[in-house]
Chains A and B, each alone.
Chain A
Amino acid sequence: MREIVVIGGGASGLAVALETKKRGRDVLLIEREEDLGGILNQCIHNGFGLEVFEEEYTGPEYANKYIEEFLKLDIDYHLNTTVLKIEKTNNYFEITMSSKARGIEKIKAKAVVISTGSYERSRGSIIMPGERPYGVITAGSAQRYLNIDGYMVGKRVFILGSGDIGLIMARRMFLEGAKVLGVAEIMPYSNGLTRNIVQCLDDFDIPLYLSHTVTDVKSGESNRLESIVIQKVDENFNPIENTAKVFEVDTLLLSIGLIPDIALLDNLEVVVDSLTKSAKINQAYETSVRGLFICGNSLQVHDLVDNVTLESIRAGKCVSDYLEKKLEKNNESIDIIPGKNVGYVTPQVLDFSWSPKELIISFRGKKKMEKTKIKVFQNNELVFEKFKQFIVPAEMETIKLDYSKLNKFDELGISLEEL
């Protein structure tokens, strides 16, 4: 029986494994790829590490810092190993995993941490009219093909969605010689960081079409993408007539959002939040299943990897505490609810059987706001407030509050108010 099994060897899993190992726990990490580092390995651009290291690194460099420490601490791991199933029996978990080298294996653990990251929304998850030709792929897949495997998915490219991966890939494909004809964003503002608009699009004169979306896709004889049509949309996102523009392209990259990957929770009775599309957690990153923890992008999609690391270190500390103190549930808990202008919040539950001093709440605003007050209420009473110059949906916000003064019955509500 292992104490902790961490599933996923990206930024989150590495941080959890390091933190728990440093606290003297027994930990095994399982990674499905042949190398540690996760998605960071294909994010070869820079911009990582400013919060944690106060220096700017590329994705592989950022990953390498943790991988080196991980190897130095002699932490147990399995590579090329896919976890198929997690089951809970009484007081422990049974994990079924599979690898080419060793076939199907089962292990037991007292605690499990899900650090499986997120997956990209694909064409199926949005309504896009037209044919279904080759050449329509997610920006992240194209990034992997290019940066890891070394081949270009196309020569004339258009990008749907202005998320950071899309912007980064616009530049990347341009640099490798592709014609990048433009980026269409259905919202009136970009979902990416401003710096990526500047250094990925403006630097190379790649046009950004705000309030535009792809309304048709056409293929040629071999069912390869040949052209797309984009159209301007109104406030209700309906295409406006006579605004169609045609682009002859062989590739359409989709950068339309990430979704936490929680496929492994299927066999467990985990309560899911429809807003985060992941498990509901308490302030210790524990799901509704005792001993099952979740953090990183599989909990909520982050915009900065530094925050994944910091969150996962906190989760690692909580898992260690859990094993040390063998906490019993005492059923004293309250809900934390997203209120006005708040898109989602984690944790969703404040569980009084845990006793860390402070409560860290992460959330996203629903819209762009200026001069905003973040307010937390319990039973109509203001228990916390903080001023923020800007709130944008693209950036996750985090607040810390002391919960020793809260009552143990009424839910907490968090809202944003423009001054």
Chain B
Amino acid sequence: MGKKTFTCIVCPRGCRVTIDDNMNVTGNKCLRGEKYARTEMTNPTRILTTTVKTTFKNMPRVSVKTEEPIPKELIMQAMEEINKVTIKEQKKIGDIVIENILDTGINVILTKPLIRNEVKNEEVHLSN
């Protein structure tokens, strides 16, 4: 019988979770910790957050993330794919930048609007 203990990284609480050979999980404060412990044993995954180049002068980079966690061993390859992209047109937060990255079935999406018109067009906003 072997046991493995690690830190759940799903949220900043960082519970110490223990998993045994029968995949029983203890120490987790919520169900996500149980799921995390199981995938960490079989196929560790991470959400990847990075930036993408744009052609916009005032926003040369815009932030993106994988919509779901992707396998840990694909992270560097995913970085390569994402660094090939340059966005040329305005997009909303949540819009897809790369569909189904590396055949994971997971999209890379914007985490910031490119560009927030209401603000960019208006340096001073006074309602009356």
B6 partner, pick from A78, A147, A149, A198, beta carbons under 8 A: A198
Stretch in A33-41, A85-93, A361-369 touching the partner: A33-41
* CB within 8 Å of A: which B77-128 residues: 79, 93, 111-113, 116, 118-120, 123-127
Best-surrounded residue of B8, B14, B46, B111 (most CB of chain A within 10 A): B111
Contact between chains at B14 and A195 (CB < 8 Å): yes
Known pairs A44-B50, A44-B111; A198 contacts B12 (CB<8 A): no
In whole Å, how far is A407's beta carbon from the nearest beta carbon of chain B?
37
Are A47 and B60 within 8 A (Cβ)? Answer: no
* Cβ–Cβ contact A149 & B112, under 8 A: no
Q: Choose the segment among A54-62, A118-126, A217-225 that binds chain B (4+ C-beta atoms closer than 8 Å).
A: A54-62
Chain A residues near B26: list those with CB within 8 A: none
Interface: B51 (CB within 8 A): yes
Does chain B have a CB within 8 A of A270?
A: no
Instruction: Tell me the complex Cα distance, A71–B121, Å.
Output: 13
Query: Does the CB pair B61–A148 fall under 8 Å?
Result: yes
In the complex, how many residues of chain B place their beta carbon closer than 8 angstroms to a beta carbon of chain A?
38
* B9 closest partner in A (C-beta): A195
B50→A64 contact, CB < 8 A:
no
Docked-complex contact A195 and B47, CB < 8 angstroms: no
Contact B51 A147 (CB under 8 A): yes
Contact indicator per residue, chain B 1-28, by CB within 8 Å of chain A (1) or not (0):
0000011111111100000000000000
1/0 per residue A67-84: CB within 8 Å of B?
100010011111111000
Nearest residue in B to A395 (C-beta to C-beta)? B12
B35 at the interface (CB under 8 A from A): no
**Minimum C-beta distance from A58 to chain B (A):** 4
Residue in A50, A60, A74, A101 with the greatest tally of chain B CB atoms within 10 Å = A60
Name the residue on B nearest A37 (C-beta). B112
What residues on B are CB-neighbors of A46 within 8 Å?
47, 49, 65
Known: A64-B112, A175-B79, A203-B46. A193 touches B12 (CB 8 A): yes
Q: Does A45 contact B (CB under 8 A)?
A: yes
In the complex formed, the residue of B with least CB distance to A44 is B63
Name the A residues within 8 Å of B123 (CB-CB).
34, 78-80, 99, 101
Q: Given A175-B75, A175-B79, do A56 and B11 touch, yes or no (CB 8 Å)?
A: yes
B124–A78 CB distance below 8 A? yes
B9 and A198 contact, CB distance less than 8 A: yes
A303 to B14, CA, bound (A): 14
Query: Across the interface, do A149 and B60 meet the contact criterion of CB distance under 8 Å?
Result: yes
Q: Within the complex, what minimum Cβ distance (angstroms) separates B120 from chain A? A: 8
B58 at interface (Cβ–Cβ under 8 A)? yes
Asked whether B61 lies within 8 Å of A147 as measured between CB atoms, the reply is yes
Collect the chain B residues with CB atoms within 8 Å of residue A148's CB: 61
A150 is an interface residue with CB less than 8 A from chain B: yes
In the complex, the answer to whether B126 meets A76 with C-beta atoms within 8 Å is yes
A194 at the binding interface (Cβ < 8 Å) = yes
7 contacts between A and B (CB under 8 A): A47-B11, A64-B93, A102-B124, A149-B61, A194-B7, A199-B46, A203-B72
Query: With A75-B127, A78-B125 given, can you name 14 additional A-B contacts, CB distance below 8 Å?
Result: A44-B50, A58-B63, A60-B111, A61-B93, A64-B113, A71-B118, A74-B125, A77-B125, A78-B124, A79-B124, A150-B51, A175-B48, A175-B75, A195-B12
